[in-house]
């Protein structure tokens, strides 16, 4: 009986020590209708303009709520890996309804749990696209560092 109590106390202590993001987690917004091609082009154009002003070579991807590509641009001489990363950042933001920066923060605290989620990119530059408080898609930018990618993505979303 003593071993059982010791085991029970040990397990309870271990479970209480696990990090709980549920209390910190804000509710995720609902999904709205998928982004249109016209709006996707406008957002991408603003993002590319911001990158051009800073002489950053990037890829920009716009996806719908399911993470499927709606519109894509890649500036000349952008590193080839950025093509895929931009789409993955946009998909992560749209499907999980949070920024990829949030995943980077969670990864720093609780890495292994986040690493098991399918399709997650934990690098800034992916942001959900919102309309009337609902997610209608996602933007992903890749090519420079995460903060710069995110700056371009935010520029793309300015004016919505």
115: Cβ contacts below 8 Å, ≥ 6 apart:
107
Fold topology of 28-157: Beta-Lactamase (3.30.450)
Residue 2's SS3 state is: helix
pLDDT tens-digit series, residues 19-76: 444 445 678 899 999 999 999 999 999 999 999 999 999 999 999 999 999 999 999 9
Percent of the chain with pLDDT over 70: 81
HSE-up (13 A, CA, CB side) for residue 39: 17
> Where exactly are the structural domains of the chain?
28-157
Q: Distance (Å, rounded) from C-alpha 130 to C-alpha 109?
A: 27
Residue 62 phi/psi, 5-degree rounding, is -120, 130
């Amino acid at each position: 009986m003593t071993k059982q109590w010791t085991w029970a106390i040990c397990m309870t202590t271990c479970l209480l020590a696990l990090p709980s993001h549920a209390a910190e987690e804000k509710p995720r917004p609902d999904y709205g209708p998928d982004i249109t091609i016209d709006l996707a082009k406008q957002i991408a154009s603003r993002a590319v303009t911001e990158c051009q002003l800073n002489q950053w070579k990037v890829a920009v991807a716009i996806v719908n709520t399911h993470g499927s590509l709606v519109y894509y641009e890649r500036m000349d001489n952008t590193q080839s890996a950025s093509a895929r990363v931009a789409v993955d950042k946009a998909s992560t933001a749209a499907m999980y309804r949070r920024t990829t920066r949030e995943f980077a923060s969670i990864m720093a605290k609780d890495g292994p749990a986040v690493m098991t989620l399918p399709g997650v990119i934990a690098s800034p530059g992916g942001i959900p696209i919102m309309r009337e408080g609902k997610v209608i898609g996602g933007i992903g930018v890749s090519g420079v560092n995460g903060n710069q990618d995110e700056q371009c993505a935010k520029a793309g979303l300015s004016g919505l």
